Each structure stands twice: as structure tokens, then as C-alpha cells.
Amino acid sequence: MRKSNIIYHLINAAIFIILEVAALNMLRHNGTMQGIWLSKGAHAVMSAVWGGSQSIADYFSLGKRNDALAQENFDLRLRLAQLEAVSGAAGTDIPKAQGTAGNYRYIHAEIAKISNNTQHNYMIIDKGSDDGVTEGSGVITGRGAVGVIDAVSHKYSYARSFRNHEMSISARLGRQGAVGPLNWDGKRGDGAVLKEIPLHMAFEPGDTVFTSGFSSIFPPDIPLGAVGQAKIVNGATYEIEVTLFEDFGALRYVTVVNNLGKEEIKTLEDRQ
């Protein structure tokens, strides 16, 4: 395009803009209705801009809100554990040691990395030996037991996920029922199998499966999942499908639980 044509188009565009501004100005000063209409239009544009900027600000503040909610949930979980410990020991004051309830210490943590797509899944959390985490500690949420600490550095810990074929949890069918090993089924993200349940035990689909407390890792009565279908194995015991409550694909915040009597229990076992 020649230089003269470019100048010609620029002049036409400038004249158009000047005429539009003049027309809007005349409308504004020519009548009350036109002025109101223009004011509403300007306010609508300002509202849209302000609303958009506020939505962006709200979006970037979600992380802080999630952190605050996670801490609040941890505090409530700890308080509940403390009250349950007190109810089991009449006349005992609520524990004063920070983060402790009964014979367990609770440590709030965030997942730094997690694996969910193999048969040997794991997670790395942002708490380590400097924070009181030790090997053999359990990893829990308000919706289940999700792992066991296998290795610890100063600031991080490596945990074997429940979604790992090498992981098993001692679980109870209901709060008063039989106890058996609970394992991931290796197929579904929320699938598990409860084994070695005696045939005389009565249960219904939808019953809750809890941690038994018969290990030195997890406290008792943590809800794990709901009972599904069952089958008889070798004519002797039930094998029960369990749908886990925890969504491992959405995990972010966890609680590390350390049995304060674990070493004493291990010492007694080693003597036998």
C-alpha cells in the first residue's frame, strides 16, 4: 500500500472518531434520558471491570483460604482425638503437650508429591524429623488411613500409600465387629478388600469399616470405607469389597500420627 493511501485511511479514521465523540457529547447534553442512558452504560462497564478484577483477586486468594481450612480441620480433628482420649480415662485432664491426644502425637502436613498411577504408589510430605516425624508413623485424613512413613529427612518424609500392594491396614467391621487385613484391590481408586472375616459375623452393605487399633501405627476407629459385596473364600471366611471414603486423586493435606508408645511395644515384641 502506498504512503498516500495510508495517510488517507488514517485521516478518515480520525474524522470518524471525532464525529462519534461529538455525537455522544451532544446526546449527553441534549436530554435527560440520553444522559441517564450513557451514565448507565458507563456504570455497567465499570461494574464489569471491577467484578472481573475482584474475581481474579478471589481466585488467587483461594490457596490461602484452603490452607486456613486445612489447619482448622486439623485443629478440630486433634481436639476430637483429645476428647476421645479423655472420655476413655476418667478424671484425666486434656493433654497439655502440643499436638498430642492420648498416646498419639498429631502433625499437620501438606503433600509435596504423590503417585497414584502405579501398583506401588507413594507420597512425599513437607514434614520431616525436624517436625517430629519418625519412620513407621501413620498418615491419615478425616476420611481414612492413607499411608505409612517409610523414610524421613530433616524437612520431608516418604510414605508408602495405601494404594500400594505392599500396604495392609488392620481394620474392623463396624465398631464392634471382627478384625481383618484391609488391602487395596489394585483396580479401582476407591476399591479395597477386607479379608479373613468369620462366616458367623453379620453385616450389611453400607456398614462402615474402621481402623481396629490393633497395630502400633493407626489409632482405632478411623472411618475407612463402606461395605459392598462379599464372597466366601475356601468355605471358611468372608472376603468383603470395601469402597474407600478417601479420594486419593484429590489429596493435598494430611495428618501424620505417631504412636508415642511404639518403641516400648516394639521392645516387648523383640523379647519374645
Report the predicted TM-score, pTM, of the whole model to 2 decimal places: 0.66
**Rounded mean pLDDT for each run of 10 residues along the chain, 272 residues in total:** 61 67 58 52 50 51 54 58 48 48 87 93 95 94 93 96 94 93 93 95 94 91 95 94 94 92 79 74
Q: What is the CATH architecture of 103-271? A: Beta Barrel (2.40)
Q: What is the DSSP string of 109-148?
A: EEEEEE--SSSEEEEEES--GGGT--TT-EEEETTEEEEE
Residue type at position 191: G
In 10 A of CB 99, how many CB atoms?
A: 20
Q: 100: which residues sit within 8 A by CB, 6+ positions away?
A: 82, 106, 260
The number of C-alpha atoms within 13 Å of 183 and in the hemisphere containing its C-beta is 14
Domain range summary for the chain, segments of one domain joined by +: 103-271
Q: 227-243 pLDDT, tens per residue?
A: 999 999 999 999 999 99
Phi, psi at residue 96, to the nearest 5°? -90, -20
